[in-house]
Structure 1
Amino acid sequence: MKLYIVDVFGAALRRLSYWFALLGGLIMLSLAITTVVSIIGRTFFGQSVEGDYELTEVGLAISVFLFLPECYLRKGHVIVDLFTSGCHPNTIRLLDNTGHLLFTLVSALFVYRMALSGMESKEYWEQTMILELQIWWVYLVGVVSFSVCTLCGLVQLLSRREDDIYE
């Protein structure tokens, strides 16, 4: 029963992570279009999109946060298997579980620290120079994304089975 609940929750997290990644991709696509329009405007008309650098900076930060859960679930992070290629499957399972535990703990720490930074940013009205965009929204997206990452790490830890195949 425990694994069934973990599997259902894991499937929901995978769908959520997928939609986060799609949203991040749409944001990046809109940033690319904005950049092209700004460059064309600057080159041919002497007028660029006002605050294009700020939009790019904030948009890329949000996109990266939104990509993190999907990247983790797809094992898109860097894995150096030079030292583990000849290891016994149980050793690889132990190292893999240790990695999932560390990732979960670090993600939870990021949730905590980003929440504090976001509250401080909102308290001091931190904003961009030209467009005066409030920066705390970026922290909010980071907190939500790292919360999802933390839950994904927990699901990865709890869904480990003895019959998992490690090649």
Structure 2
Amino acid sequence: MNGIVVLLARHCALAGGAILLALVAVTCVSVLARAGLTLSTLADMPAWFSRLRPIRGDYELIELGSAVAICGFLPWCHLAAAHARVDLLGGRFARGLDRFWDAAIAACMAFLAWRMWEGMLTKRANAETTFLLQIPVWWAFAACATGLAAAALTGAWVAARGRAA
């Protein structure tokens, strides 16, 4: 089971990273294009630079993609114990407290996954889309719910097995 949880968390993080890299590319192209439109009137720019145009709906892509990427990073973050924390205690009590908080995070992630799933069903039923690109919003909700469910599973697994000392 440990291998499955690690594989799931790793794949979620890799998907989140791929999405984040795509968002960086979208942002860079849009910023360069906006700068090219401004600078082409002020200075001699290469011809290709002045032909760049901002990506239509880049804000929508960033908004949806950021949420999906963040939810994709959560399982690996919890598995690697990379959440912000303060260690004041040591020994057995601290390990018990860690298990409690791991279980609490698992419960919170399960709750969020459930609510995100319910939100996805509502968005899909209402056929809600983004303003400019008309992307169905429920796709992002479904992806976020998947990442949150994986985070809940990871949290439950870490709580059940405990952290390495």
Q: State the TM bucket, normalised to the shorter chain.
A: 0.7 to 0.9
Counterpart pick for 1:99 among 94, 98, 101: 101
Instruction: Identify the residue that residue 4 of structure 1 maps to in structure 2.
Output: none
- Quote the sequence identity (%): 28
Instruction: Identify the residue that residue 115 of structure 1 maps to in structure 2.
Output: 117
Unaligned runs of at least 5 residues, structure 1: 1-8
- Using the size of structure 1 for normalisation, the TM-score is 0.84
| Residue-pair matches, total | 151
Describe how 1:1-167 pairs up with structure 2 within 5 A: 9-45=1-37, 47-81=53-87, 84=88, 87-160=89-162, 165=165
CA distance in 2, matches of 1:112, 1:23: 21
Instruction: Say if 1:10 and 1:152, in contact at 8 Å, map to a contact too.
Output: no
Unaligned runs of at least 5 residues, structure 2: 39-52
**CA apart distance, 1:37:** 1.0
| 1:12-42 Cα deviation digits (max 9, x unpaired) | 1111211211121111111111111111212
**CA apart distance, 1:157:** 2.1
| 1:86-137 Cα deviation digits (max 9, x unpaired) | x341110111111011111111111211111111111111211000111111
- Using the size of structure 2 for normalisation, the TM-score is 0.85
Please list every run of at least 4 consecutive aligned residues from structure 1 whose deviation after the TM superposition is greater than 2 angstroms.
none
CA distance in 1, matches of 2:160, 2:96: 13
